[in-house]
Amino acid sequence: MGLGVLLDMTLNGIPSKMGFYVVDALDTKEMHLRTHEGVIPISMESIHDLLGLPIGWINLLDFDEGGSDKRIWNEWKVKFAKRKMRQMDLLDVIQKSNDDEFTFKLNFLVLFVNIMAKRNTMGCCNFNFLSRIHDEEMIPKIDWCRYIYTRLRASKSQWNRDNNNCFYAGPLTYLTLLYVEETRCSSVIVPDKKPPLCAWTYDLMKMRESRDIANGGFGRQPLKKPANSTKEINEFVQPIDESNGCRSQSRETTMEVPT
């Protein structure tokens, strides 16, 4: 599937204050994070480096979500009796299921996309992407870095920083890792393991959050690299006109399986 790195993932949550900061600092027009020390560019290459995901293969968004070939989509959705499911419900299904290997892959993909890329608004999980997958051979060739990058462009469209009930539904894990990996904080020691997704933990993130707050707030730590222009970053990836968003990460969301 090309997602084996997730088996070694150690990060199981994002502290709320840091999560709010990185979303607030996200500029989806210029594709960077704004800090007091400069900007941190966002790129497909950094998604690959931070999350260890495949890059440069099939662009899933080239395939029509409303296309006529929905065999895989239809076979997957009939396996769920509940119309609404939380991510933990799906995880429970994955752990307990005796389904065939392909069904397991689809379940895992749904969980992966909703954690790492995009959920729907109002806490509902996104599974419509499955209708873009036409056969099993596509799965290990999907360019997930491009998929996350493109979804990121539209991820603040419905996020309201002043509404406590509005939750951000985009790639929060990537944005947070980008911030902590591209800024300096010598008092937080992180294991030297690649990709960083498999080195950082929630406890380390909480420690980093506390250090930043104690040192004057988020975005005031020196950048590890000089700020670069973001004009050179993935200009061939065009924005999409799609709703996506809301505040910081919700640990439990629901997904509605259509009939």
Q: Walk along the chain (259 residues) and give the pLDDT tens digit of each residue.
A: 778 888 899 998 999 999 999 999 999 999 999 999 999 999 999 999 999 999 988 999 888 765 555 677 677 766 665 566 666 666 776 676 666 677 778 888 888 988 898 877 666 677 778 888 888 888 889 999 999 999 898 888 888 888 887 888 899 999 999 999 999 999 999 999 999 999 999 999 999 999 999 999 999 999 997 655 444 444 433 433 333 333 344 333 333 333 3
Owner of token pair 């010598």: 186
Asked if residue 195 has a cis previous peptide bond (ω within 30° of 0), the answer is yes
What does 82-121 look like in DSSP terms, one character per residue? -SEEEHHHHHHHHHH----HHHHHHHHHHHHHHHHT---G
Owner of token pair 């996200």: 26
Q: Where are the domains of the chain?
A: 8-232+243-256
Task: Identify which of 50, 55, 27, 54 has the alpha carbon closest to the alpha carbon of residue 177.
Answer: 50
pLDDT of residue 239: 39
| 147 vs 152: CA distance, rounded Å | 9
pLDDT of residue 188: 96
| 178 contacts 33 by C-beta, under 8 angstroms | yes
pTM for the complete prediction? 0.81
pLDDT of residue 137: 86
